[in-house]
Amino acid sequence: MTIPERELPISYQPDVVVLGGGAAGVAAAIAASRNGASTLLIEQRGYLGGMGTAALVPAFCPYTDGEKPVVRGIGLDLMETMKLASGDEFLSMYKDRLDWVPIDVEVLKRVYDDAVLESGAHVLFHTLADQVLMDEGHIQGIVISNKTGRSVVQAKLYIDATGDADIAAMAGVAFDKGGNEAELQPGTMCFLVCGADKDRYDRFLAETGQKSSLIETIQEAMRNGDLPDGRKRISGTAWISKSVVGFNFGHIFGIDGTNTEDLSRAAIEGRRLIERQLRFLHKYVPGFEQAHLVHSGDQIGIRETRRIVGDYKLVVEDFINARTFEDDIARNSYFIDIHLANAQSTMIVKHLDPGESHGIPYRCMLPVGVENLIVPGRSVSSDRPVQGSVRVMPNCFAMGQAAGTAAAMIAVDTALQSRLGFRQVDIPDLQQRLIEQGAYLGDRSKIGNGKERIGESKEIVFEEETS
């Protein structure tokens, strides 16, 4: 059907608009506002946090390279603030930990609210962008929809932190998705239980010699038909207290996070799978006999969708060789972590050595063909293996901080008042500002090590772990 033409009011005209309130979007909004830009953060739900709150991802992935924190600045500050706000018991368990810190979801929501508002940014919840208005490679406005109606937001600069590159796709940016056969990493419906007994559970692990992944126990349950074929380990148990624990357990296959039919099916299948997993915990795992489900994810956790075509594509050689680039705006040391695409395949894993990290160049966030749009987060320009590494929340914080800082520099500092673009930023100035604001960019004396790749990536042999 052809929709009748209509005039829409202009509802907001900030310097910078950030679409998506996950880790990348929160950091981007805070950075842009702290650096002097009037900033609007738009989020489809009624709270911030993205996969860490909406999908109940139970823990933050590592902030360190095994020796030192490589993600610092806004992202590290937010996690430390959550620790302090989560109570004495939580702090006693995790005060000195920087890797795999459990997420206290309700506390984290408030921490994000406070940090964004204290920065001076404005938040608009329960709102979706459904159209991008383009003019010769520049976004002229975005159409938003919410309970108030439809309206247009006009900004100087736009930050797509949706995780799925939704704004970039609507703006006509080219993108890649999935593997050679269009396969995508599966989703996971994470969940939270109360009534568990951590001391009893720890004794069970010690007595059986198992780790918290419970591989042997899960395989026994699969043989007995008490769990479906598929993921043969628990990826994460994150204890919020001695009796409350979050789970990253199980896969829902064949899910495209940009397809609403898939997301709807995944929600139903995910809740059914949790019910079966809870019966498994009651029957097989001491310490969980009285465990009670208190929360399942508002949506399935999504690991992979679109990857933009950007000015530079990070590839697996960059990861393997721990490369540093002239325009680095962050460092990454998280391992390549590609989950099985079906119940018969295995996970692909590749670790860097302790103390090693690679640079994330600014150019990876710049979509080809659009000037005033930047895309931080898991949708940056990369090949599929590297996306399996850079996709996690600490890295999204770091990229978001860089994107927001760059946006403020361009919108506030430049003398140009029209046709602004993210390629106008002064990279050394941006890097200096990030360092002054707590970010870590590594040893800058190693710039260009290994030389930047030309051409397609070569085949790399990965380790495989049991699914």
Length of the chain: 467
Residue 454 is predicted with a pLDDT of 38
CA-CA distances (angstroms) from residue 171 to 132, 192, 374, 419, 425?
A: 6, 38, 12, 16, 21
Q: Confidence band (pLDDT; 50, 70, 90) for 450?
A: very low
Residue 105 is predicted with a pLDDT of 98
Mean pLDDT computed over every residue of the chain: 92
Rounded Cα distance, 387 and 135, in Å:
30
Tokens of 347: 């996970």
Cα dihedral 413, 415, 420, 422 sign = negative
CB-based burial of residue 451 (10 Å sphere; 0-12 exposed, 13-18 middle, 19+ buried)?
exposed
Residue 156 is predicted with a pLDDT of 95
> What is the share, in percent, of the chain residues with pLDDT greater than 90?
85
Residue 346 is predicted with a pLDDT of 56
Q: Which of 76-90, 170-184, 387-401 has the lowest mean pLDDT?
A: 170-184
Rounded Cα distance, 233 and 216, in Å:
9
> What is the share, in percent, of the chain residues with pLDDT greater than 70?
92
* pLDDT above 80 for 27: yes
* pLDDT above 70 for 22: yes
Q: Which residues contact 106 (CB under 8 A, 6 or more apart)?
A: none
In the chain, the largest separation of any two C-alpha atoms, in whole Å, equals 70
Residue 447 is predicted with a pLDDT of 62
Give me the DSSP letters along 189-247.
--EEEES--HHHHHHHHHHHT--TT-HHHHHHHHHTTSS-SS--SEEEEEESSSS-EEE
Q: Confidence band (pLDDT; 50, 70, 90) for 182?
A: confident
Strands 306-308 and 157-160: unpaired
CB-based burial of residue 258 (10 Å sphere; 0-12 exposed, 13-18 middle, 19+ buried)?
middle
Q: Which residue has the tokens 């430390």?
A: 80
User: Is 121 in contact with 107 (CB distance < 8 Å)?
Assistant: no
Residue 461 is predicted with a pLDDT of 47
Q: Confidence band (pLDDT; 50, 70, 90) for 341?
A: low
How many CB atoms neighbour CB 444 within 10 A?
13
Q: Which residue has the tokens 């990290």?
A: 357
The arithmetic mean of pLDDT across residues 28-51, rounded, is: 98
Give me the long-range contacts of 102-106 (CB less than 8 A, separation at least 24): 102/58, 102/59, 102/238, 102/239, 102/240, 102/246, 103/52, 103/53, 103/56, 103/57, 103/58, 103/59, 103/60, 103/238, 103/246, 104/240, 105/49, 105/52, 105/53, 105/56, 105/192, 105/295
Q: Which residue has the tokens 């408030």?
A: 110
Q: Which residues contact 349 (CB under 8 A, 6 or more apart)?
A: 335, 336, 337, 338, 462, 463, 464, 465
Amino acid in position 62:
P
Residue 297 is predicted with a pLDDT of 97
Q: Which residues contact 129 (CB under 8 A, 6 or more apart)?
A: 19, 42, 142, 143, 144, 145, 153, 166, 167, 170
**The CATH classification of domain 9-178+303-467, taken from the options 3.40.50.1400, 3.50.50.60, 3.20.10.10, 3.40.50.620:** 3.50.50.60
Q: Confidence band (pLDDT; 50, 70, 90) for 340?
A: confident
The arithmetic mean of pLDDT across residues 388-397, rounded, is: 97
The arithmetic mean of pLDDT across residues 27-43, rounded, is: 98
Per residue in 101-138, pLDDT tens? 999 999 999 999 999 999 999 999 999 999 999 999 99
Rounded Cα distance, 427 and 422, in Å:
11
Tokens of 428: 């050394």
Rounded Cα distance, 136 and 369, in Å:
9
Quick one: which of 135, 183, 145 has its CA closest to 369?
A: 135
Residue 361 has phi, psi (to 5 degrees) of -75, 145
The arithmetic mean of pLDDT across residues 56-72, rounded, is: 97
Residue 385 is predicted with a pLDDT of 92
Per residue in 222-272, pLDDT tens? 999 999 987 778 877 999 999 999 999 989 999 999 999 999 999 999 999
Quick one: which of 288, 110, 295 has its CA closest to 190?
A: 295
Q: Which residue has the tokens 């568990």?
A: 196
Residue 329 is predicted with a pLDDT of 98
Rounded Cα distance, 259 and 126, in Å:
19
